[in-house]
Amino acid sequence: MPAYTRHNEVLILDSMPGHVEAHYFNVAQTALKRVGDQWRFKIPTLNHLDLILQKDAWIVVDRVLNDMPVAAWTNFQTEGRDNLHEPVGCEIRIYHFAARMVFQTTLDAMENHLRQSLIEQKNKQSDNVLASNNDE
């Protein structure tokens, strides 16, 4: 799947400094390290919206509007980060008038989806490990 870039190409209605809590950032980075450069999934309860995760941006897109961005967390301030428990600074971009209404739902859905996917991946890997018999 080619990298999504429209969040850098279309008009931004508003942009502000913000942050994401460490538990959201950490699970997203862990998942991306295991699956690749980009991960896309539907956001439950938010009709027509998907979340695209990239190392440097998390973008909420509207599938019905040809993947037009709705909101994005970008420019994560990770340089010199020396902890795993403090929020990570970022830029929050707004592309749609109602984008602020989906922030928390999106972050919670992302964390739930990624944690579940990582658990399933771990279980599949452990199923592939053969037990050795030390009695032989």
Ramachandran region, residue 64 (left: φ > 0; alpha: ψ -120 to 50; beta: rest): alpha
Determine if residue 112 is left, alpha or beta; phi over 0 gives left, psi from -120 to 50 gives alpha, anything else beta.
alpha
| Entry pTM | 0.85
The CB density around residue 40, as the number of other CB atoms within 10 Å, is 14
Structural tokens at position 119: 């658990």
Per-residue pLDDT of the chain (136 residues; tens, 9 = 90+): 679 999 999 999 999 999 999 999 999 999 999 888 899 999 998 999 999 999 999 999 999 999 999 999 999 999 999 999 999 999 999 999 999 999 999 999 999 999 888 888 777 766 555 555 555 4
